[in-house]
A and B are shown apart, each in its own frame.
Chain A
Amino acid sequence: GENVEQHPSTLSVQEGDSAVIKCTYSDSASNYFPWYKQELGKGPQLIIDIRSNVGEKKDQRIAVTLNKTAKHFSLHITETQPEDSAVYFCAGATKTSYDKVIFGPGTSLSVIP
Chain B
Amino acid sequence: DGGITQSPKYLFRKEGQNVTLSCEQNLNHDAMYWYRQDPGQGLRLIYYSQIVNDFQKGDIAEGYSVSREKKESFPLTVTSAQKNPTAFYLCASSIVGASNQPQHFGDGTRLSIL
Which bracket fits the contact residues of A? Answer: 20 to 34
A68 within 8 A of B: no
Partner of A105, one of B42, B58, B103, B105: B42
Report A100 CB to chain B, min CB distance, Å.
Answer: 5
- A9 near B40 with CB under 8 A, answer yes
Q: B interface, by DSSP: helix, strand, loop or mixed?
A: loop
Contact yes or no, B102 A100, CB < 8 A:
no
A95: Cβ under 8 A from any B Cβ: yes
Tell whether A63 is near chain B: CB-to-CB under 8 Å. no
Subset of 16 A-B contacts with CB under 8 Å: A36-B105, A42-B108, A43-B4, A43-B105, A43-B108, A44-B90, A46-B104, A93-B100, A98-B56, A99-B98, A99-B99, A102-B42, A104-B42, A105-B40, A105-B42, A106-B42
